[in-house]
Amino acid sequence: MNDRHSELSTELVISEILRWGVRCSLFLIVLGSVLCFVRGVDYGSSGGTADDLYSLINGEGSFPHSLAWLANGLLHLQGAAIIVAGLGLLISTPLMRVSASIAAFTLHKDRAFALISVIVFTLVILSFAIGAA
């Protein structure tokens, strides 16, 4: 049904997707954080003060509620927007690996597990729809 070789290549695809998803998001989160500190407008000048910290942790402020904010922030290389993009990529990495496993199992004609992957994918989308509603 599935020989050792095809099994290994499925593992390799999944492993590479996770690796690059994490690498890219880590890069964006680190870059965004460095920009926030260096510029001094986001987190306060020269490392900020205790008051800056209080408002950063407790304030409702700066958080993105719109895609427009995100797009605009990315265009202007704003640290917070880059961090948000990195976090978004990080959060979507597991779903990308499920999509990849659908493709890999289908390619190896492993119908049972292609179907299982599709079920997982559908349930994840469904629970997101329920949770977001």
Residues in contact with another protein by the rule CB under 8 A: 1-2, 10-12, 14-16, 18-19, 21-22, 25-26, 29-30, 32-33, 36-37, 43-44, 47-50, 52-53, 56-58, 62-65, 80, 83-84, 86-88, 90-95, 97-98, 101, 112-113, 116-117, 119-120, 123-124, 126-128, 130-132
CA distance 95 to 83: 20
Kindly state the smallest distance separating residue 122's Cβ from another protein, in Å: 9
CA distance 7 to 34: 41
Kindly state the smallest distance separating residue 64's Cβ from another protein, in Å: 7
Residue 50 or 75: the one with the smaller Cβ distance to another protein is 50
Kindly state the smallest distance separating residue 7's Cβ from another protein, in Å: 8
Which are the contacts of 77, defined by CB distance < 8 A and separation ≥ 6? 35
Kindly state the smallest distance separating residue 77's Cβ from another protein, in Å: 14
E strand or H helix that includes residue 53: helix 50-58
Closest CA to 12 of 120, 89, 86, 107: 107
CB atoms near residue 117 (< 10 Å): 21
Residue 75 or 133: the one with the smaller Cβ distance to another protein is 133
